[in-house]
Chains A and B, each alone.
Chain A
Amino acid sequence: MELRGVSKLLKTTAILVTSIAFVAQANADEYWQSADSTAAEVYVEEPMPPGFRVERNELEGPVFADAKGRTLYSWPLERLRNGDLGDRQNDASTCTDEVQTVNTGLMSPYPGGLELPDLETRPSCVDVWPPVLAAADSEPLGKWTITEREDGSKQWSYDGYPLYTSILDINPGDVLGGSKFREGADSPVVRKPVGPSPLVPPELAVTVMFTGRMLVNHENYSAYSWDGDAPNKSNCHDSCLKTWEPVLAPETAQAQGEWTIIERSPGIKQWAFREKPLYTRPGDTRLRSLAGSDSDGWHNVYTQQVLAPPKEFTIQDARIGHVLADSEGMAIYVYNCGDDAQDQLACDHPDSPQAYRLAICGGGDPDKCLKTWPYVLAPEVSSSESSLWTVEYIDPKTGRWASPEQSGALRIWAYRGRPVYTFSGDQRPGETRGDAWGEFYGARNGFKAFWLRDDFLGNAG
């Protein structure tokens, strides 16, 4: 072997060895913010009718809430395979007190007219999604309008979409009924929390990632900041500019709040957020990329990020990026489910019909479910900085919540109020063989890996 080849080999090896030591800590820092951090998204303040307010959520950011702090949701019309469901903009609510008894057949390939599971206990749409009613003397205000329901009562709407609360939200700031996270193709028609617009310049936007609310430019390319810059001063010049492109501010731009403007050179202005000049990376071939954060000192920029998950959890390299895993490195999965009834009720929760999950996880057999898709157990001494992760007790036979004293109850981790799982088919850390297992690639009735980063397919945001 030539000396040149040996030298190259040694150089490569040395670099890798140095890098490996910092993998776990560096990755964790990129994905969550410190519990001591006060970073929170600033929003555009707008007038609200009396009784409404803004609450803050760790994942969803600022959301509108009623007088009791219950998050407000809308149910925008979405297309399914064989038709549309949800509320039309500037129209009355389609969420009624009628208990649906059959499916619609709007999700191919199964026909409609099939009797739904657990019919004797099935709630109506308004039982699960109480409409946000307006008092008789309420007046519309800005984007807040009032529509009339079938029964003559008045319901608040925002941006033309009727508003609801969720029976899953208990404490002010809870957003357990739905998420702003982008649903994949063939997902159910879901309810989404409604909130004020983020305060960002027109050149930028906030996009929802699994780990926080990330800044992107108007074309959805990620915004980055650099540790090499000083507060409100860019030190990125010459060769640096070949890799990083400043997010320019127009001549008429004005600083506001956390947004400042720096003048790189006479007449050339650049946006800075929290005193950090912003850049995009022309080398990003994917939208909402996290690849720029691989460069030393460069970081994706968030208005806010979630806090760290349970301490024993790990981050594993997987075939498309990073996946959240348990203490043994086995990938963690969330279960998604929405039925195909007219009201598209969720079936992803221990309080909802378990027939869907049991069919997918064990062919209807609870024991097989437990073996194929075991719950992620929570150690007796365990904690999470993040409010998104809670310790719950579950009856493994029924899939329903249990009390701690119940015989056979398992102490498990739940994410956003729903159990999480590992997959018995994953044979080594970082494997994700169970990803997309279920109806419609895990979006309709199935399992999806908890992707923190996906450099190929957009699973993380």
Chain B
Amino acid sequence: MRHDPLVKMSTQKFAPAALAAATILATCGANAAAAEDSDSLELKNRSIGYVLTMRHWAIYQTPEAKEECPQGFNDGPREQFKLLYPEDGTNWTLLETQLERESEVWHPGTEKEPYPFYEVEGTTSIGLNLDGQVDAIDFISPEGDEGIDNQLYRAIGCIANFRGPDGTAYHFENNYMQRYNYNRFVIEITGVDDLVNDDQVTLTTYRGLDGLLTDASGRDFIPGGTQRIDMRWGKEFIQSFKGKIVDGVLTTEAADLNMPWSVTFKTSPVMYLKDARFQLKLTPDGAEGLMGTYVDVHDWYYHATVGWSTHHQSYGQESSPSMYRALRRLADAYPDPETGENTAISGAVDVKFSRAFVVHPDQEIAADDAEMEAEVASTRD
């Protein structure tokens, strides 16, 4: 990869919103400068950075799906098309078939469909207790924790596309996340005195600008890469979370978060997460765990339809109109003040990060200045 020479900040053209973000970063830099003599070997200036290398909606799977999908998996666009418009000699028109289906994709309704939709029936789910309560609709985690909020799993868990390892959405969402720098998601944990126990740290999210560092095989991601922060176009992805580390596990408070989440060809959708929070096992080389979150039903749905066309959805029997109805049925948060209907759904994301060295724009300038000074000095000599 061609190494990007550092562009001086004075030549950057930022929109006004960047001013606030840069202020935050400069302040962090100042704090970091004050703590250079931390005793921690893993940390640099009481900070540690990670870059996302794996991301899936958390789907708890049992062998052959017998527990969660006893009735099998759902039909997708092709199967539903055949049911709705059978080859019985009828002279079907494009308008009453394909365009009707695409109308349903982009402007879905909630009336009952003439075929079944299978929701997850099991009681176990990966996830977090988002609301601090144990409700009848909640799951139990594989570790036995009650009150797990993951109704999104109930909606999509029996759709083949979302199931690992070879559901096409499961595979390609992650693949494109790894390939496209648009999706480069970086977290920097600051104020860290101890990576095992620390009662007050801050996790800040950014979009990075660099590719992922792999080993020689190209298959596995390894720690030690550099991630420059996108302060030009990625301001909406910056968010800070207060957190604590207990026995090596970081948990954060909740905040809304925009995540770059492109799936395929030239698309640039964003996942708008509400009350997102992190639960990550931290090591000097990486971090792994969960993000728990609510997502507005329409935001999640249109992200799925913009990001994955009917053609690609059909690979894994993912029917957008059916999925929309399930999302509306199973939404469990953010009631509409007028109708009382829930507008957001709980979910969880399996995530894995590699250690990365986070480079902020002011650090780029400092490095560039140092290089220039060295060059000038050498000419004097």
Residues of A within 8 A of B (CB): 1-2, 4-6, 8-9, 12-13, 15-20, 22-23, 26-27, 81, 103, 107-111, 113-117, 184-186, 238-239, 242-243, 281-285, 291, 294-296, 317-321, 355-356, 359-365, 368, 425, 430, 432-433, 435-441, 445, 455-459
What CA separation (Å) do A274 and B99 show in the bound complex?
Answer: 51
Is B11 in contact with A296, judged by CB distance below 8 angstroms? yes
Q: Which of B3, B81, B91, B265 has the most CB of A within 10 A?
A: B265
For B262, list chain A residues within 8 Å (CB).
457
Is B311 in contact with A81, judged by CB distance below 8 angstroms? yes
Given A22-B13, A81-B311: A110 and B103 interface contact (C-beta under 8 Å): no
Is A186 in contact with B34, judged by CB distance below 8 angstroms? no
Selected contact of A441 from candidates B3, B180, B266, CB within 8 Å: B266
Is A457 in contact with B180, judged by CB distance below 8 angstroms? yes
Shortest CB-to-CB span from B376 to chain A, Å, is 9
Q: Which of B13, B92, B232 has the most CB of A within 10 A?
A: B13
For A116, list chain B residues within 8 Å (CB).
93-94
Is B15 in contact with A4, judged by CB distance below 8 angstroms? no
For B362, list chain A residues within 8 Å (CB).
8, 12
CB nearest to B360 among chain A residues: A12
What CA separation (Å) do A186 and B232 show in the bound complex?
Answer: 30
What CA separation (Å) do A23 and B232 show in the bound complex?
Answer: 12
Shortest CB-to-CB span from B165 to chain A, Å, is 23
Kindly list the 5 A-B residue pairs having the minimum CB-CB distance in the complex, ordered from nearest.
A5-B30, A363-B107, A283-B4, A456-B182, A359-B99
For B136, list chain A residues within 8 Å (CB).
none
Is B12 in contact with A294, judged by CB distance below 8 angstroms? yes
Is A320 in contact with B26, judged by CB distance below 8 angstroms? no
CB nearest to B237 among chain A residues: A319
Is B91 in contact with A115, judged by CB distance below 8 angstroms? yes
For A445, list chain B residues within 8 Å (CB).
102
B67 within 8 A of A: no
Is A109 in contact with B268, judged by CB distance below 8 angstroms? no
For B13, list chain A residues within 8 Å (CB).
19-20, 22-23, 26-27, 294
B71 within 8 A of A: no
Is A19 in contact with B102, judged by CB distance below 8 angstroms? no
For B33, list chain A residues within 8 Å (CB).
2, 4-5
Binary contact readout B18-48 vs A (1 if CB under 8 angstroms, 0 otherwise): 1100110011011101100000000000000
CB-defined A-B contacts under 8 Å, sample of 22: A2-B33, A5-B26, A5-B27, A12-B361, A12-B362, A13-B26, A81-B311, A109-B81, A114-B92, A115-B91, A184-B265, A242-B5, A243-B5, A285-B1, A317-B232, A360-B102, A360-B103, A435-B268, A436-B307, A456-B268, A457-B268, A458-B266
B106 within 8 A of A: yes
CB nearest to A280 among chain B residues: B2
B66 within 8 A of A: no
Interface SS majority for chain A:
loop
What CA separation (Å) do A163 and B340 show in the bound complex?
Answer: 61
Is B23 in contact with A363, judged by CB distance below 8 angstroms? no
For A114, list chain B residues within 8 Å (CB).
92-94, 97-98
What CA separation (Å) do A109 and B317 show in the bound complex?
Answer: 11
Is B314 in contact with A108, judged by CB distance below 8 angstroms? yes
Is A13 in contact with B30, judged by CB distance below 8 angstroms? no
Is B2 in contact with A359, judged by CB distance below 8 angstroms? no
Is A23 in contact with B30, judged by CB distance below 8 angstroms? no
What CA separation (Å) do A20 and B8 show in the bound complex?
Answer: 15
What CA separation (Å) do A12 and B26 show in the bound complex?
Answer: 8
CB nearest to A111 among chain B residues: B81
CB nearest to B92 among chain A residues: A114
For A4, list chain B residues within 8 Å (CB).
30, 33
Given A5-B34, A23-B13, A321-B233: A109 and B310 interface contact (C-beta under 8 Å): yes
CB nearest to A321 among chain B residues: B233
Selected contact of B23 from candidates A13, A320, A433, A440, CB within 8 Å: A13
Is B3 in contact with A283, judged by CB distance below 8 angstroms? yes
For A12, list chain B residues within 8 Å (CB).
9, 22-23, 26, 361-362
For B260, list chain A residues within 8 Å (CB).
319
Selected contact of A318 from candidates B7, B19, B233, B375, CB within 8 Å: B233
